[in-house]
Amino acid sequence: MNVEDYIKKAERIAPLSNEIPSTAFVDFYEHHRRRIGDILLKLKGGDTKMQGFILRAGMMPPGDSVIDERIKQFCRIPYRTVDGTIASCPGVLRGWKGCPPHAPAAMKTIGLLSEARSFLIVQFEGSEGLTRQSHVHPFIARATKALREREYAVLETYASGPCRVCPRGCGEDQECRQPERRLFALEACGFWVNSLCRKAAEFPICGDGPQEIRWIKDWDLVTQDTESVRYVTGLLIG
């Protein structure tokens, strides 16, 4: 199955709930969007490694998420690289502990969604070669810490791509060396990221809210179809 087929398949998966946003969610959004937006922008402004990124963020009702075990198959789509075609995302190939099959089951994550008041979706857009996905991970970890220090109950934090807590990866170990710091990607947990971006754009807090992601062909080859990349992360707030 090619990328286009996977996308069509994922777009047909229904959200957990099609209900309209609850009064409690809208009230939380109205009362906290400016404060949370200011926290994110202040953190970005003080981080030289993040200056090349455009930051967009928005909130969505957690129950409106599209999440399914089948979406984890996206981590196993073959793609071309300078070293030839590889069978899947390098994190899966190398056995990194932030990737499937080590990621939590979708049903476990659905349980967390039921406890959350809001799902904060934070997107970083940059230019390949000038910005790095590895810089997004420590930033979103610091954002989690900053929100908790301001008494927000962050139930879970999701990153973009393979976990970068250990710079050299973790494939040689049987278990994660730093499980308390490990960050799973949204896709690795079964979230359909395009849907999250669309829903969070309806309740923006930074910029116009997240935009749909691009599916880049021929990554890191001269034939790569775009230099613009979008990394999407998320924080479940209780």
Cβ neighbours, 10 Å, residue 228:
12
Cα 212 from Cα 199, distance rounded (Å)? 10
Map out the domains of the chain as residue ranges: 3-237
Q: For residue 120, which of 210, 51, 31, 46 has the smallest C-alpha distance?
A: 210
Place of tokens 């998966």: 13
40, pLDDT greater than 90: yes
- Digit-coded pLDDT (tens) for 164-211: 888 776 767 778 888 889 999 999 999 999 999 999 999 999 999 999
pTM of whole model > 0.75?
yes
Q: Across-strand partners of 85?
A: 80
- Digit-coded pLDDT (tens) for 93-143: 788 888 899 999 999 999 999 999 999 999 999 886 666 888 899 999 999
Determine which helix (DSSP H) or strand (DSSP E) holds 156, and give its type and residue range.
strand 154-159
Residue % of the chain over a pLDDT of 70: 86
Residue 206, token pair as written in the block: 């930074």
157, pLDDT greater than 80: yes
1, pLDDT greater than 80: no
